[in-house]
Amino acid sequence: MPKISKRGELLPESAIRKLVPYSEKAKELGRKVYHLNIGQPDIKTPPHAIERIRNFDFELIPYGHSFGNDSYRKKLAQYYRDRNLDVDQGEILITTGGSEAISFAFMVCFNPGDEVIVPEPFYANYLSFAIATDVVIRPITANIENGFKLPSVDDFEQLINPRTKGIFICNPNNPTGYVYTKEELEKLSKLVLKYDLYLISDEVYSEFVYDGKTHHSVLELEGIGENVIMIDSVSKRFSACGIRIGSLVSKNKLVIKSILKLAMARLCPPMLGQVVAEAAVDSPPEYMEEVYNEYLNRRNYIINALNDIPGVYSPMPMGAFYSIVRLPIDDSDKFCQWMLEDFEYQNETVMMAPASGFYSTKGIGKNEVRIAYVLNIEDLKHAVECLKVALQVYPGRTN
């Protein structure tokens, strides 16, 4: 039997999806599973975007441009300009989800063995993208005690060595909900200039920032346009995860030109997905306001409810719709599996993502989970009650 590659051996299972077989088994037993493990909102996609699908009048679904549809890129450029970001259509490349945009950026900006500094905890799939492209993630650990504030620039600088070629952030952050301040970004920009690094920023959740905070894009930073790449997606903004449409934005013409070669190799991003995304960009302010307020209400409920459970702690997320939650448990991987395999309360249980999968440093996150408050408040109430009861009877409770 032939061996698989070293890359194949090193690729981690998804911290978000690896427990799916256990959730499916629980459902087969008739249990209701509350999915707090994955950022799949239950909020409806904009109705006019759905209507665009119903009225899709092509007699043929052809290949599109490798750059992405011109009409969509023009509309997206205007969307960014409306948010005071100086973006031209030619600086945007449409991708098959934000995931492809990240992989493309890694492949074009870094050589095998190059290192990228990433604040942890980070979105679990970043590690998979890095391994698949032979890039090395150098984690810099943020602390739950201060709400996962960005580590100091001095801490970043201590990690820089001749192999360091970039810094990668997520703002607002998945999985912590932290929103980086303008001052933090400006300090990073000075480091980027000093060492001539790439600064890649995943800004998929930029519409969801709370408590009077302001989202600042890396595209706003002055003097580092050639170093900056911004990753975006419509999956969460318009609750349209399945259309798989993302984008990569950069003023670095060589980066865009080089990534276009990869885009040509995969031919084009999904044509139908772009049609839906283009329609979704025209969502009325009322839709976006309603969605925003719904996430805000869900956040306020679940974080306060979790912190009322003895031994549980979660910082208040400032953006996105996730939080890292510390639990009085011995091992989050065991606990999350136990919740699905051995526990039920009133024939219900909860699926969460073990936070160990969101850290690159071994041994961290063993008493933490990531939750996604993507369900309606009534479902969140049931989920919190299940978790509260589970923590009372879990054999591996630590206090």
Average the pLDDT over 109-135 and give the result.
97
Domain with 370 in it:
6-44+286-393
Considering the domain architecture, whether residues 187 and 88 belong to the same structural domain is answered as yes
Considering the domain architecture, whether residues 145 and 259 belong to the same structural domain is answered as yes
Residues ≥6 apart with Cβ < 8 Å to 301: 377, 380, 381
Average the pLDDT over 315-342 and give the result.
97
pLDDT tens for 215-255 read 999 999 999 999 999 999 999 999 999 999 999 999 999 99
Q: 28-42, 44-58, 314-328: which has the minimum mean pLDDT?
A: 44-58
CA angle 47–51–56, rounded 5-degree value: 155
Q: Are 137 and 126 in contact (CB under 8 A)?
A: yes
pTM of the predicted model over 0.85:
yes
Distance CA 115, CA 137 (A): 6
Distance CA 102, CA 108 (A): 10
> What pLDDT sits at residue 57?
83
More confident residue, 18 or 161: 161
DSSP letter at 294 equals H
Mean pLDDT in the chain? Answer: 96
What pairs with residue 371 in β-bridges?
Answer: 323
Nearest CA to 322 out of 371, 356, 272 is that of 371
Distance CA 210, CA 208 (A): 7
Can you give the length of the chain in residues?
Answer: 399
Report how far Cα 128 is from the mean position of its chain's Cα atoms.
Answer: 13
CA angle 340–341–346, rounded 5-degree value: 65
pLDDT of residue 69 exceeding 80: yes
56 located within any domain: no
pLDDT tens for 264-316 read 999 999 999 999 999 999 999 999 999 999 999 999 999 999 999 999 999 99
pLDDT of residue 59 exceeding 90: no
Residue 264, number of CB atoms within 10 A of its CB = 12
Considering the domain architecture, whether residues 154 and 258 belong to the same structural domain is answered as yes
Q: 6-20, 193-207, 219-233, 272-286: which has the minimum mean pLDDT?
A: 6-20
398 located within any domain: no
Band of pLDDT at residue 17, cut at 50, 70 and 90: confident
CATH number at residue 381: 3.90.1150.10
pLDDT of residue 343 exceeding 80: yes
- SS3 state at 168: strand
- SS3 state at 200: strand
Q: Are 387 and 308 in contact (CB under 8 A)?
A: no
pLDDT of residue 259 exceeding 80: yes
Distance CA 189, CA 195 (A): 10
pLDDT tens for 72-100 read 999 999 999 999 999 999 999 999 999 99
Considering the domain architecture, whether residues 133 and 74 belong to the same structural domain is answered as yes
CATH number at residue 115: 3.40.640.10
Exposure of 244 in the CB half-sphere (CA atoms within 13 A): 8
Considering the domain architecture, whether residues 341 and 367 belong to the same structural domain is answered as yes
Respond yes or no on whether the N-terminal peptide bond of residue 47 is cis (omega within 30° of 0): no
Question: Number of structural domains, the chain?
Answer: 2
Distance CA 228, CA 202 (A): 11
- The tokens for 21 are 């077989």
Considering the domain architecture, whether residues 135 and 168 belong to the same structural domain is answered as yes
Q: Are 200 and 126 in contact (CB under 8 A)?
A: no
Average the pLDDT over 174-203 and give the result.
97
pLDDT of residue 10 exceeding 90: no
pLDDT tens for 353-391 read 999 999 999 999 999 999 999 999 999 999 999 999 999
101 located within any domain: yes
Average the pLDDT over 60-69 and give the result.
94
pLDDT of residue 16 exceeding 80: no
DSSP codes joined into one string, 37-75: SS----SPPPHHHHHHHHT---SS-----TT--HHHHHH
Distance CA 285, CA 29 (A): 43
Considering the domain architecture, whether residues 240 and 117 belong to the same structural domain is answered as yes
Band of pLDDT at residue 329, cut at 50, 70 and 90: very high
Instruction: For the chain, give the percent of residues with pLDDT over 70.
Output: 100
In this structure, is the dihedral angle defined by the CA atoms of residues 215, 220, 222 and 225, taken in order, positive or negative? Answer: positive
pLDDT of residue 15 exceeding 80: no
Distance CA 240, CA 175 (A): 19
